[in-house]
Amino acid sequence: METQRLIFHVDVNSAFLSWTATKMVEEGKPDIRMIPSCVGGDPAKRTSIVTAKSIPAKKYGIRTGEPVSLALRKCPQLLIVPSDFRLYEKYSLAFMDICRQYAPVVEKFSIDECFLDMTGTHKLYPDPVAAACEIKDKIRDTLGFTVNIGIGPNKLLAKMAGDFEKPDKVHTLFADEIPAKLWPLPVGELLGVGESTVRALAKLSVRTIGDLAACSEGLLQSAVGSKLGRQLHHYANGLDDSPVTAEAAEAKGYSVSTTLEENVTTAEQAHKILLELADSVTSRMRADGARAGCISVTIRSTQFKDRSHQRRLEEPTDITGEVFSVAESLFRELWDRRTPLRLLGISLTALSHGEAEQLSLFRDERREKEKQLDKTVDLLRGRFGADIIRRGSIMDSSAGIGRKYKAHLENQKEGGN
């Protein structure tokens, strides 16, 4: 008799804001999850956006991805805290380590969510809901932030269950629960259904996931295309056979990715995120005395389709500005400037160690300045914490040389301002 699959999906509630709040609470500061607050850039910069928000901020109509200046007009007392990918990586590793104490296979889906394959663990954990509650409570009590856990017979249903009522909840979505829990939902809440697909399905009078499940696969394919139509029909009926796959050890490279609460829709948003990712992953690599000879960028669409490009370098690097420059170029090659994106990631591979570098007859003053800048940033963060200094990017159009990179100190105010 074939063993019934059992999959958990663990998702951190408002990850970036929760992780920042957790650190601040540990420092004896107020819990910013309880007040209108957001993670975002410098309000004085036109390109600064909201990347995460508290529940009280949401009540003011503040949306992820909107300009910080607009959010402040909606809520003048909004507390804005800077993003900190090093902190996020720390807590990401910590909560996934707890998950690995319970599941034989854990798949990192993004920095703040993972899948656990609990198949065959019924003797250890006879009650899946009780096991999920134990994991959830251990993460909350040990690390100080909350997660939602969805339980189902496959990855799709587990993830859909995890998106039910939040925060700090456990939900199930098994086959016999699909008619009551899944089918009444608006079709736009199904994985892989974006705004354009919602409009196309509305022409077929398909407005709920149940309508989608009842629609013929052939009719769907004629409306949205063969591949997508088949996938959506399967998803609406709770069908998904994708495996939970454990990631290979990161000894061969360094990587970081992030899933935004709302989709990335502009190049400006993407570039800001890529700069922070490049800053984060290169600092980790420098701490290990490594340099990368290959850089790759991954994007994930709202239909959960991943695309990636990579580039081999003439000379290995550990310089943040150089990694960002290549990542930005790869992103331009990858993105069609139309498809909304939910994940961005950077990976550094083809590693070399030690101080040996290709010698040049001419000293590259620009590279030397950027290397010194990186060393200074690393030193300051090591002494005073990761949020003591922030990286930003500006366009120097008068010089005609594209993007430059600078580090600037943020004023550290009481309460994390």
Active-site position among 89, 107, 113, 370: 113
For helices 85-100 and 128-143, the axis angle rounded to 10 degrees is 140
- The reply to whether 261 belongs to the active site is no
d(CA 246, CA 15): 22
Asked if residue 153 has a cis previous peptide bond (ω within 30° of 0), the answer is no
Query: CA 300, CA 58: separation in Å to the nearest integer?
Result: 25
Distance CA 35, CA 31 (A): 8
Distances in Å between the Cα of 310 and the Cα atoms of 284, 294, 318, 345, 355 are: 20, 7, 16, 12, 24
Overall residue count recorded for the chain in this entry: 417
In the numeric block, the tokens 């290959």 are attached to: 294
Angle between helices 267-287 and 365-384 (to 10 degrees): 80
Report the distance separating Cα 208 and Cα 189, nearest Å. 9
Helices (H) and strands (E) in the chain, counts: 13, 14
Q: Please report, for residues 18, 88, 114, 258, 361, the alpha-carbon distance to residue 140 in angstroms, rounded to integers and kept in the order given.
A: 11, 16, 16, 21, 56
Show which residues are catalytic: 113
